[in-house]
Amino acid sequence: MEIIEATAEYLVDNMTGLTGSAYGVVKPTDLAELVDALTFAKAQQIGVIVIGANTGLSGATLPEHDELLIDLSGWNKILDLDEATGSLTVEAGVTLNQIYDYVEARGYFYPPDPGAKQATIGGNISTNAGGMRAVKYGVTRDFVKALQVVLIDGTVLELGSINQKDSTNYDLKDLIIGSEGTLAIITRATLKVIAQPQVSQSILISFDNLDLAIENVAAILKTGVRPASVEFFEREGLKYAEIYLNQQLFIEDGEAFILLTLDGNLEQVGQEKVLIKNILKNSRTQVDLSEQQAKIAWQLRDNLAAGVQAQTIAEPVDIVVPTSKITETVKYLKAIAEAEKLEIVTFGHAGDGNIHALILKKSLSDQLWQKSLSNYLEKMYHYVNQVGGLASAEHGIGTLKRPYFIKHLDPNLYSLYQKIKFAFDPEGRLNAGKKI
């Protein structure tokens, strides 16, 4: 087992610029080497953090206690497609891009669609990643049938199965999903794949302001139409992705946008398109996107966060609120930004109430940034709690949201979570200090 020095890519959080320090990095090539690494960490009494593609937005891979980092990005083999049960088995380091290319070439569809397509499936499962198509298809959890995991003591377990139903046990597979590398190491996953929809049509609609865009999303969803994805963003935020990708959006009027995709069979998509166009109020431009235009529009949307990340330190926000509260929440986020003299970019998965905001540091001094950001987050998470929302919809709690998550957590639940953590990891060495 070779331990290499941890370079900046492992020690600096991409979005916030926070830094940590690590014992070193190992890149095991198989289960035996992974178990060796865990045995070594136990002997040294050091913590362990598993790394996928390191695209996480909650600081969950940041080493805060000189941990040994276990990089599984090399575990990138697609192992099996069982067409009879629609089950795709992959190693944990396989990326979303690999999965899409593989299944689409065979007429299948893996719906979860988070922005960072270079992320690994192990990372996606550990954060229960959501993404654009969650509004119709659900999140990563809905597409995980089985997992192979390794516990901190080296025990290898198979959880879940390819059966359609299961009423046999405590559902440990579902407990691992979303556990942010704090309970076990995922080494292999069996995913559900479905038939590719016959057609997929993206539509871009522009508005004078974000309120109008969000009101129209609510009106669209009320018709019963279930788009595969419905995103909102503003021109102000879009410019970061445009600069980053050196690519302009092709609509010149309007300050806020809805980008949605309808999929299914030809007739159904045609009917849904008419329904949507009849319901729209006060829109500026609506374009049925060609395949090439759709590719550009979605690339820009996927790269909003990456565009900001390339230009300034930022705090990523991933709150979810009841869909009836989206407009007022976005207004509130903007109002507190103004009060704290902070710049923010807002966008999100409008169909499911998941609002993303990036709070930008820009040229603020470190001291002012810390103070204003802390005021902002206190107010925001308090508000989110009051309206019945949650601190994270899809990025996870990690390090960044932990104080706010715990502050609003029922102490009885917190105590139960700690007992669960203890059952898996009695010495508290697996991604310690993250999540709970």
Ligand X SMILES: Cc1cc2nc3c(=O)[nH]c(=O)nc-3n(C[C@H](O)[C@H](O)[C@H](O)COP(=O)(O)OP(=O)(O)OC[C@H]3O[C@@H](n4cnc5c(N)ncnc54)[C@H](O)[C@@H]3O)c2cc1C
Question: Which two three-digit tokens encode residue 50?
Answer: 């598993």
Encode 10-40 in three state secondary structure. HHECCCCCCECCEEEEECCCCHHHHHHHHHH
Range 140-144, long-range pairs (CB < 8 A, 24+ positions)? 140/112, 140/177, 141/174, 141/177, 141/178, 142/112, 142/192, 143/110, 143/111, 143/112, 143/191, 143/192, 143/193, 144/173, 144/177, 144/189, 144/190, 144/191, 144/192
CB of 307 vs ligand X, minimal distance in Å: 8
Residue 229 binds to ligand X (criterion: CB under 6 A)? no
From the list 25-33, 52-60, 236-244, 330-338, the region that binds ligand X by CB under 6 A is 52-60
Contact with ligand X (CB under 6 A) among 16, 127, 206, 327: 127
CB of 20 vs ligand X, minimal distance in Å: 13
Residue 216 binds to ligand X (criterion: CB under 6 A)? no
From the list 56-64, 99-107, 203-211, 216-224, the region that binds ligand X by CB under 6 A is 56-64
Contact with ligand X (CB under 6 A) among 129, 326, 358, 377: 129
Q: Which residues contact 216 (CB under 8 A, 6 or more apart)?
A: 205, 207, 258, 279, 280, 281, 282, 283
Please, is 292 exposed, middle or buried when counting C-beta atoms within 10 Å of its C-beta (0-12, 13-18, 19+)?
A: exposed
CA 420 from centroid of its chain's CA atoms: 24
Residue 193 binds to ligand X (criterion: CB under 6 A)? no
The SS3 call for residue 182 is coil
In the bound state, the residue with its beta carbon closest to ligand X is 123
Count other Cβ atoms within 10 Å, centred on residue 15.
21
Site map (CB under 6 A) of ligand X, residues 78-107, x = contact:
--------------x---------------
Kind plus residue range of the DSSP H or E element containing 121:
helix 121-127
CB of 386 vs ligand X, minimal distance in Å: 24
Sign of the dihedral through C-alpha 50, 408, 319, 358: negative
Site map (CB under 6 A) of ligand X, residues 145-184, x = contact:
-----------------------------------xx---
Residue 399 binds to ligand X (criterion: CB under 6 A)? no
Contact with ligand X (CB under 6 A) among 22, 26, 37, 50: 50
Contact with ligand X (CB under 6 A) among 37, 49, 289, 294: 49
Residue 394 binds to ligand X (criterion: CB under 6 A)? yes
Residue 124 binds to ligand X (criterion: CB under 6 A)? yes
Cβ-based nearer residue to ligand X, 50 or 380? 50
CB of 414 vs ligand X, minimal distance in Å: 19
From the list 57-65, 83-91, 234-242, 373-381, the region that binds ligand X by CB under 6 A is 57-65
Contact with ligand X (CB under 6 A) among 55, 98, 216, 346: 55
Residue 25 binds to ligand X (criterion: CB under 6 A)? no
Site map (CB under 6 A) of ligand X, residues 291-330, x = contact:
--------------xx------------------------
**Amino acid identity at 78:** I
- In this structure, are strands 48-51 and 67-71 parallel, antiparallel, or unpaired? parallel
Cβ-based nearer residue to ligand X, 269 or 300? 300
Question: Which two three-digit tokens encode residue 334?
Answer: 């903007």
Cβ-based nearer residue to ligand X, 47 or 181? 181
Taking CA atoms, 106 is separated from 80, 103, 117, 260, in Å, by 13, 5, 19, 25
Contact with ligand X (CB under 6 A) among 16, 126, 201, 261: 126
Residue 237 binds to ligand X (criterion: CB under 6 A)? no
Residue 115 binds to ligand X (criterion: CB under 6 A)? yes
Contact with ligand X (CB under 6 A) among 47, 63, 131, 160: 131
Q: What is the DSSP letter of 143?
A: G
Q: What is the DSSP letter of 59?
A: S
What CA–CA distance (Å, rounded) separates 229 from 208?
A: 21
Cβ-based nearer residue to ligand X, 97 or 282? 97
What CA–CA distance (Å, rounded) separates 229 from 247?
A: 22
Q: Which residues contact 280 (CB under 8 A, 6 or more apart)?
A: 205, 216, 219, 220, 286
For residues 211 and 258, is the Cβ–Cβ distance under 8 A?
no
Site map (CB under 6 A) of ligand X, residues 351-390, x = contact:
----------------------------------------
Residues of the shown chain interacting with ligand X in the complex, contacts defined by CB under 6 A: 49-57, 60-61, 72, 92, 114-116, 119-120, 122-124, 126-127, 129-131, 180-181, 185-186, 305-306, 394-395, 431
